[in-house]
Structures are given as structure tokens and as C-alpha cells.
Amino acid sequence: MNHPLIAPGCVAFVTGGAAGIGLALARRFIEADMRVAIADKNEAALEEAVDILGAGDRVKSFALDVAHRGELELAADRLFGAWEGLHVLVNNAGIQPGSTVLDDANWDHVLAVNLGGIVNGTQVFVPRMLAAGEEGVVINTGSKQGITTPPGDPAYNVAKAGVKAFTEALEHDLRNREGARISAHLLIPGFVYTGLTKGGRTEKPAAAWTPEETADFALQSLGRGDFYILCPDNDVPRALDEKRIAWAAGDIVENRPPLSRWHKDWAERFSTYVNRD
Ligand code: NAI
């Protein structure tokens, strides 16, 4: 069942909307007869995406960088000026250029886009949505890497852990705010074949979902009212994610070393744990 706001006439604003998961969501919104604004830093991809969506004046595009709050403010002024409302805000733009713990390369950029972009989008658009007094949803794209924080790309993990904490705080604020009719949701994709994960590949690996599968799952989950939109993929079912998440939390509860899942003295115990029924 669709969320009541995924409906004709409703307005969506999607960052990172020119490609991947953002574009797949924008496509579903257009199919639901909504009006959709896509925002992206990549102007060429943005133009192509407008053509792909092919919905005439039900589509707007904004070339902007989510790390720059002023650019989002300009877009918000133009959007509210033209369409007088916003019902579905998707803060989704993200990058993954790689990082290591002791080298500062990429840290500022990753934090500014993946975390800063979500804080900016929320703080620019949600007050306007609240002032309009209508129902709304905010979907912020996080990652499993912000929950189980695997070794390999600490800047990305830190940013996505921040997205989780920020979006939880947002939902708590909104549900306790007098008169607010807006809910927040954390989209946690699985492995999705997009520009972000493609690397040198030209074909989708069997393990990965398509952006469209991810968008469909996300909208079903949103329709059920889930806060945590925890997507599986072709390799990782929900039950395995649940065990990985519980094990990561267990590092503190059981006083294990951090990231024990990847620790030589614990890896076997983790493996026994996940393979237990
Ligand atoms: P993608 O690369 O296909 O799409 C991301 C879009 O964001 C691109 O169009 C890009 O131009 C845009 N973008 C990047 N920096 C921007 C900026 N500063 N301002 C505005 N737009 C900007 O990647 P994908 O996979 O669709 O990523 C969407 C979100 O999903 C990201 O937040 C990513 O971290 C997250 N994610 C993706 C997973 C995957 O397996 N693909 C897994 C978990 C999370």
C-alpha cells in the first residue's frame, strides 16, 4: 500500500535525483502523478533525468550542491513560489570517494555532502513544510555502513552514522511538536548497482539490487509507516542484517573490542552466531 502522500498532486523534492536511487524514486513519484523536483550537482545528468522522467511541467530541476545551504535556500524559495508546498522531501545525495583513518583526504568533502547535505536539506525545507501546515514525510538516505560501521571507509561510516542519529532526532522532534504533521524516515539501502558502487563494472552483480527495486521496497516500507526502511539485497536478507546489527550493538553490551566482527579473535564466534537458527 502506498503512503497517502505518494498520491496525485503531491510535491516531492529529491536530492541526488539525477541518478541511481534518487532518480528511481523520482520516477515512481511521477508514475503516481505527483509533481517532482530533482536536485543534483551533475548538470548533464540532471538534464538527462528530466528527459527520462518525461513529465513536462510536473518536473523541475535544480542544479545545486547540497553542501551549500544557500543553494538549497534558493531552490526552496523557487519551489514554494511555484508549487506552494512540499509533501515528500528526500535528502539522498551522496558520494563515496574512499577514506582512511589517519589521512585527511576526502574527509571534509564526505562529511559536507553526506551528512551536511542532509542537515542542510532538512533545516532549509522542514521549517517551510511546517509553516505550510500540511502533512509531509522526510526520507534521509543513510547506510548499513552507518550502523555496523565496517572497516574500510571511516569517513563514509561517520557521515552515515551521523545521518542515522540526526534522522532519529528529527523524528523525535517532529512527533513531539505541537501541530506538526510530518514524519521522518531513515532509508537504509542494501547493495544497489548505481554510479556510486559501479567501480569498473559494466553489469549489475548478482548480489546487487537495481535502484528501481530499492525504490519499490522503500515505498512499500514507507506505506507501512516504518521509520527504519531497511532494504535487503540479493545476498543479504533482513534476518542477516538483523543479526549483524545486533552483533554490532553487542560489542558494547558484551564488552567486546569494537568491530569484533572483523577481529581475528572474534570472527569465528560471529560466524557461529550468524549461522545459528
Ligand atoms: P548515485 O551516484 O547513482 O547517485 C547519487 C547522486 O547524488 C548523483 O546523481 C550525484 O551527482 C549526486 N550528488 C553527489 N554529490 C552531490 C552534491 N554535493 N550535491 C548534489 N548532488 C550530489 O548513487 P546512489 O547509490 O543512488 O546513492 C544515493 C544514496 O544512497 C547516497 O546517499 C548513498 O550513500 C546511498 N547508499 C547507496 C548504496 C548503494 O549500494 N548504491 C548503499 C547504501 C547507501
Tell me, yes or no, whether 169 and 128 share the same domain: yes
Tell me, yes or no, whether 137 and 271 share the same domain: no
Tell me, yes or no, whether 220 and 272 share the same domain: no
| pLDDT of residue 1 exceeding 80 | no
Residue from 62, 68, 196, 210 whose mutation best tests the ligand 1 pocket (most atoms within 8 A of CB): 196
> What's the 230 CA to ligand 1 centre distance in angstroms?
17
CB atoms within 10 A of CB 145: 19
- Secondary structure element (H or E) that encloses residue 102, with its range: none
Hey, is 73 helix, strand or coil?
helix
Q: Is the pTM of this model over 0.95?
A: yes
- The pLDDT assigned to 50 comes to 98
Tell me, yes or no, whether 66 and 202 share the same domain: yes
Q: Look at residues 90, 96, 34, 40 and name the one whose alpha carbon lies nearest to residue 59.
A: 34
Tell me, yes or no, whether 174 and 98 share the same domain: yes
Tell me, yes or no, whether 119 and 151 share the same domain: yes
Give the mean model confidence (pLDDT) for residues 56-65: 98
Tell me, yes or no, whether 168 and 37 share the same domain: yes
Which domain covers residue 113, as residue numbers?
A: 11-235
How many domains does the structure of the chain reveal?
2
Please report whether residue 3 resides in a domain.
Answer: no
Tell me, yes or no, whether 98 and 177 share the same domain: yes
- Percentage of the chain lying above the pLDDT 90 cut: 99
Tell me, yes or no, whether 105 and 159 share the same domain: yes
Tell me, yes or no, whether 166 and 193 share the same domain: yes
Among the atoms of ligand 1, which is closest to the Cα of residue 211? 26
* Residue located via cell numbers 512540499: 86
What gap in Å lies between CA 196 and CA 265, rounded to an integer? 33
So which residues are the catalytic ones? Answer: 156
> What's the 97 CA to ligand 1 centre distance in angstroms?
11
Please report whether residue 17 resides in a domain.
Answer: yes
| pLDDT of residue 277 exceeding 90 | no
Hey, is 137 helix, strand or coil?
strand
Among protein residues, the one with the nearest Cα to ligand 1's atom 44 is 143
